[in-house]
Amino acid sequence: MKKRFDLTIIGGGAAGLACAVSAAEKGCKSIAVIDRMNRIGKKLLVTGNGRCNLSSRNISEEFYHGSFNVKSVLEEYPDLRLFFEKLGLYTSADSMGRIYPLSNTAASVLDALRFGAEKSGKVRFFTEAQCTSVSENKNGFTVKAGEYEIVCGAAVLACGGCAATVHGSDGSGFALAENLGISVAKTYPALCSLIADNTKSHDRVRSKSAATLKHNGLLEKKELGEVQFTKNGLSGICIFNLSAALPDNERNAAVSLDLLPNYTLHEVYEMLLNVQLYRKRDLPEEMLNGIFNGKIALYLLKKANIPVSVHCAKMDYTDLKRLAAITKNLEFKITGRADFSKAQVTAGGIIDAEIDKSLMSKKHKGLFFAGEIIDVWGDCGGYNLHFAFASGLKAGKSAAKLLSEKEKTYDQN
Ligand SMILES: Cc1cc2nc3c(=O)[nH]c(=O)nc-3n(C[C@H](O)[C@H](O)[C@H](O)COP(=O)(O)OP(=O)(O)OC[C@H]3O[C@@H](n4cnc5c(N)ncnc54)[C@H](O)[C@@H]3O)c2cc1C
């Protein structure tokens, strides 16, 4: 079925929907949003555990990774409140600066975007339409998606990455870009749990810790938060953030946990000395039960080579010093990371060198990029959705401007 639109947006996720709203507002007359799923914005519904952490009060370049320079996008859209308020969506921030819809429901965010696009009267959604090719023609682009062949003046690739395919993005956007000769940096899962040795015995235990990622012996990144032990590794928001900073080649990487980050090494040693004094007749495991989870206590004792069957009184100061040191630096060798199905975002994507300041392709005039398909990913805390929305808004605005310039030239001729 042949169709003609001014602008075609491939991908109806966070970036594609923001792009549609912005292009319509900036004067684009007809916009097609195509998505491979049976409804648009599916992934948005599961973000932030169904609450959608859509942005942050602390937006800054330092929370982003990858080749793409986010500066100009963040400078233009440092705050999305006005954009959402115009769509009728109010937000509030928690004590960490994470911004959520006031309704605390991700569906409100999707509805606001969808209604905003629909109410403009310029946007049409095509679902269950997997885009299989984008090619340049003399007036713009031809987009093939399912039964449709859409001819348009400009197109936006907003197909997301490879993470959480069950909610939409399947990595096919990268192939569309590569077929147009656009370079894509190798992709790998980010914001995911890390696979590590020796965690099985304390599976499901949670511990407030300071976690430090060390790669090739260098300190890469430190995060404070709740670490969750799993049967095959480490999880939790702070581990997700460490995974974002861990290069794809994770050989020689380790995560060191400080299980008592509010105490110095000396204070931990003194704490252990005190407990030993009060609980001489207890077994070491019992002595630690007011400080650590039982499974962790056993693991610490094993690591410190302290027999669990002798009374505490038998432990000398070198035993306690060793135990204190392990508590402050419990190291796990990292052997891998969770796969895309369990990751929140994709590291890698369309590289910075392919994209101009308006988010247009340097190789194909009229082709724009937005969201996770670009080689940039952020930490947990609303940074990824902020970038998806902000880059969508910018790409929509740039596409509308280009199309209106094209139209003027056409009229003059
Ligand atoms: C479980 C989970 C929770 C998350 N929570 C948060 C959070 O609270 N805060 C935060 O900032 N980030 C969060 N993220 C990350 C965030 O969801 C993404 O960074 C963001 O959705 C990226 O937006 P996007 O529009 O670029 O891509 P997507 O949202 O992935 O949208 C891409 C769309 O393109 C469509 N598509 C792909 N290829 C094609 C094709 N070939 N043809 C047609 N359609 C296609 C897909 O179906 C999809 O709808 C979370 C991610 C997950 C998986």
What contacts 204, CB < 8 A, 6 or more positions away?
A: 228, 229, 230
Residues 330, 372 within the same domain: no
Residues 40, 161 within the same domain: yes
Structure tokens, 77: 């859209």
pLDDT band at 413 (very low <50, low <70, confident <90, very high): low
What is the spatial distance between Cα 159 and Cα 172, in angstroms, rounded to a whole number? 8
What is the spatial distance between Cα 353 and Cα 257, in angstroms, rounded to a whole number? 38
Dihedral sign (CA 109, 110, 113, 118): negative
Residues 385, 307 within the same domain: no
CA angle 236, 325, 265 (to 5 degrees): 90
pLDDT of residue 252: 86
- Element of type H or E holding 198: none
DSSP 280: T
Domain with 131 in it: 2-189+341-412
Mutate to test the pocket of ligand 1, among 169, 192, 235 (most ligand atoms within 8 A of CB): 169
What is the spatial distance between Cα 413 and Cα 405, in angstroms, rounded to a whole number? 12
Mutate to test the pocket of ligand 1, among 21, 43, 98, 176 (most ligand atoms within 8 A of CB): 43
For the stretch 165-182, pLDDT in tens is 999 999 999 999 999 999
**Number of structural domains, the chain?**
2
What contacts 13, CB < 8 A, 6 or more positions away?
A: 35, 40, 41, 43, 44, 158, 160, 168, 169, 371, 372, 388
Residue that terminates a domain, selected from 292, 307, 338:
338
Residue that terminates a domain, selected from 310, 338, 366:
338
End-to-end CA distance of the chain: 31
pLDDT band at 160 (very low <50, low <70, confident <90, very high): very high
Helix boundaries (H) for 27-181: 42-46, 71-76, 81-86, 106-119, 172-179
For the stretch 7-56, pLDDT in tens is 999 999 999 999 999 999 999 999 999 999 999 999 999 999 999 999 99
Mean pLDDT, residues 113-133: 98
Residues 158, 200 within the same domain: no
pLDDT of residue 391: 98
Structure tokens, 400: 């509308």
- Looking at every residue in the chain, the average pLDDT score rounds to 95
**Dihedrals phi, psi of 219, to nearest 5 degrees:** -80, 120
pLDDT of residue 216: 81
CA–centroid distance, 264 to ligand 1, in Å, is: 42
Residue ranges around ligand 1 (CB below 6 Å): 10-16, 34-37, 42-43, 46-48, 52-53, 130-131, 145, 158-160, 163-164, 168-170, 172-173, 344-345, 371-372, 382-385, 388
Residues 349, 327 within the same domain: no
Residues 37, 155 within the same domain: yes
Residues 128, 66 within the same domain: yes
How far does Cα 291 stand from its chain's mean position? 34
List the CATH number of the domain containing 91.
Answer: 3.50.50.60
Residues 110, 67 within the same domain: yes
Residue that terminates a domain, selected from 338, 368, 400:
338
Residues 7, 86 within the same domain: yes
What b/e readout covers 328-353, taking b as 16+ CB neighbours within 10 angstroms? bebebebeebbebeebbbbbbbbbee
pTM here is 0.95
CA–centroid distance, 110 to ligand 1, in Å, is: 12
Residues 239, 288 within the same domain: yes
Residues 17, 130 within the same domain: yes
Q: Is the pLDDT of residue 310 over 90?
A: no
Q: In the block, which residue shows the tokens 């990029």?
A: 369
Contact of 391 with 372, CB cutoff 8 Å = no
What is the spatial distance between Cα 259 and Cα 297, in angstroms, rounded to a whole number? 11
Residues 24, 169 within the same domain: yes
